[in-house]
Structure 1
Amino acid sequence: MDGVSAAPTDDLTLSERWLTVPDLVDLLGVSPGRVHRLFEQKTLLAARVGGVLRVPSEFLDDTEPLPELRGTLIVLGDNGFTDDEAVRWMLGVEDALGTSPIAALRAGRKAEVRRVAQSLL
């Protein structure tokens, strides 16, 4: 399944806006195959929401994947997180950060987010 967890997230409230693969094709100006390669390379992360592969809009910076995201997603994967678990962690409030990890990444706190991610088991 292109490296995407089969366990559904099914919580539309986790993100302000969920983007489907066709949405990403239009927004990024790339082919569907390229979008799936971005998932495989952990440049973007998708979860099944409502039975459809979706990416939280917070994972994008205008029309590109957030550059700080990839390293954090790799750390989470190395710690055994499924894609679904990683999406939930990135969007949920992390007590150690005082905010969601994605909000902390967007605020320039990459090292802190990765340090917290590395401590998770």
Structure 2
Amino acid sequence: METLPVAEVATLLNQPVSRVHQLVRDGQILSLRRDGEVVVPAAFFSPGEERAEVVKGLPGTITVLRDGGYSDEDILRWLFSVDDSLPGSPMSFLTEGRHREIKRRAQAMAF
């Protein structure tokens, strides 16, 4: 999984670093530590006309799984693990705009 440092995410979103930290606190995106640095998966963002945006359906999926008791680590693992019943991972489905199917699966897992 390709990751970006928080400062790069801020540049990508054309937002201050504090806003990226707020997105993490609010559960809109997830972060992790790699080699002591806070990073965010690059796949969480899609290009926009003026700036990148959080992939549609990702915040809702994170919320459903958190509400179901999943840790951020478990959510990241699930999002990026290849699922035999999908042609790829849940995250690849989200980036393709098929967020309803992924959210449905997340709801089934969480409850």
Q: TM-score with structure 1 length normalisation?
A: 0.78
Deviation, 1:105, is: 1.1
User: Which residue of structure 2 aligns with residue 36 of structure 1?
Assistant: 21
Q: Which runs of 5+ in 2 are unaligned?
A: none
Q: Is the 8 A contact 1:21 1:54 kept in 2?
A: yes
Aligned length: 106
User: Which residue of structure 1 aligns with residue 3 of structure 2?
Assistant: 18
User: What is the alpha-carbon root mean square deviation over aligned residues?
Assistant: 1.5
Aligned AA for 1:35?
A: V
Flag as ranges the 4+ runs of structure 1 deviating above 6 A: none
1:58 aligns to 2:43 (yes or no): yes
2:28 partner SS:
coil
Aligned AA for 2:7?
A: P
Deviation, 1:102, is: 0.7
Give the share of equivalent positions with the same residue, in percent: 35
Distance 1:78 1:95, change over 3 A: farther
What pairs up with 1:82-121 in 2 under 5 angstroms?
A: 82-121=71-110
Counterpart-to-counterpart distance in 2, 1:77 and 1:98? 25
